Amino acid sequence: MIPKKLHYAWFGGEKPKYLIDNIQSWEKFLPDYEIIEWNDKNWDINQYLFSKYFYENGKYGFVVDPLRVDVLKKYGGIYIDADVTLTQNIDKFLQSPLFMGMHFTNAVGTALIGSEKDNKVITELYEFYKNISYEKLLDKDFDKVSNGVFTRYLVKNYPEFRMTNKTQKLSDGTMIYPKQYFVLPAIINRHNYAIHANEGSWKNKGNVEGKIKIEGEHSAIKQIFRWMLGPTLMSWRLNQKQMQRNSLYQLYLKRGKK
């Protein structure tokens, strides 16, 4: 059973309001969980070349990628990104050895993952991050995004895994849930447990989970679309567009809808 530990990371600087608000949502819906913050005082960035490299290059969103598998392997529990808001209790998922949700229809999400201590999948991904070389980090064809890393692992190791937005139970009990569970708002609210703001902090300098501010004309256009479609439909529309731009799109076309 997955222990009631909630892990998140924050490196450098004062916590922004969105993170404080999200922590309040975690405390509200998970009152009996131990909430653990990992930062530069209790987690050594230099222990992973991957984290060290991206920290030094100002791409702070990548720094936590090894951290999520590191702490889940050693302690078990739930890893949650700082830009994830809980919308209800998630105790019902703790019976699985490992659970996560789809982020796109062609990629699993890594913003909220629950795992038992020393889970096989998490342990093997832990070893994967430990063994990434400097040459690999410089390779432009190497998929460095955690969604891609996790998805490619599942494709390689679970022939039953499908690129689909439906609940899947894999051969070892690993559970994969639709993207409206942990990423997107759901049309029917009871089917949603968390919303991932997906701020894209790997694209800019700032805090590990820092927000990007969109300004100018494009911001006004987006506001009009949001007003016309409503926040739920707008989120789904943007998710679909993002899916078509990610590195797994061709993989989805080959394996999807079987």
Domains held by the chain: number: 1
Say yes or no to pLDDT of 200 above 60: no
pLDDT band at 233 (very low <50, low <70, confident <90, very high): low
pLDDT band at 140 (very low <50, low <70, confident <90, very high): confident
CATH code of the domain in which 44 resides: 3.90.550
Say yes or no to pLDDT of 99 above 70: yes
pLDDT at 236: 52
Residue 76 CA to residue 118 CA, distance in Å, equals 7
What's the pLDDT tens digit per position in 69-87? 999 999 999 999 999 999 9
What's the pLDDT tens digit per position in 51-67? 999 999 888 889 999 99
Q: Go through the chain and tell me how many residues it has.
A: 258
Range of the structural domain that residue 116 is part of: 5-255
Measured at the alpha carbon of residue 157, what is the angle toward residues 156 and 159, in degrees to the nearest 5?
85
pLDDT at 106: 81
